[in-house]
């Protein structure tokens, strides 16, 4: 799979690190509800189809960006932002 880094251009997936679901809403700073934080940190969906994710170009510019990808086919649907 080739991933388009917004800073370095298209590179092999081996240069990147998956950073998780970019659609999850982080609880507010100072929120003391344990169940809310537990769900945010430890509970994950496993979507099939188009999905927005965080990626980091670890072997390049080291920048984090969002990427839209079809998880069933690995087709890139939207470049890094």
Which domain CATH number covers 7? 3.30.2270.10
Residue 17, domain member (yes or no)? yes
Residue 31, domain member (yes or no)? no
22-72 pLDDT, tens digit each? 999 999 999 999 999 999 999 988 899 999 999 999 999 999 999 999 999
What is residue 61's DSSP assignment?
A: T
For residue 79, pLDDT over 90 is answered with no
11-25 pLDDT, tens digit each? 999 999 999 999 999
Residue 63, domain member (yes or no)? yes
pLDDT, position 71? 95
pLDDT, position 24? 92
For residue 81, pLDDT over 60 is answered with no
């Amino acid at each position: 799979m080739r991933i388009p880094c917004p800073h370095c251009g298209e590179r092999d997936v081996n240069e990147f690190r998956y950073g998780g679901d970019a659609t999850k809403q982080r609880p507010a700073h100072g929120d003391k509800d344990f169940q809310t934080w537990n769900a945010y940190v430890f509970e994950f969906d496993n979507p099939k189809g188009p999905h927005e994710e965080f990626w980091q170009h670890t072997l390049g510019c080291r920048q984090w960006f969002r990427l839209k990808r079809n998880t069933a086919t690995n087709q890139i649907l939207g470049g890094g932002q």
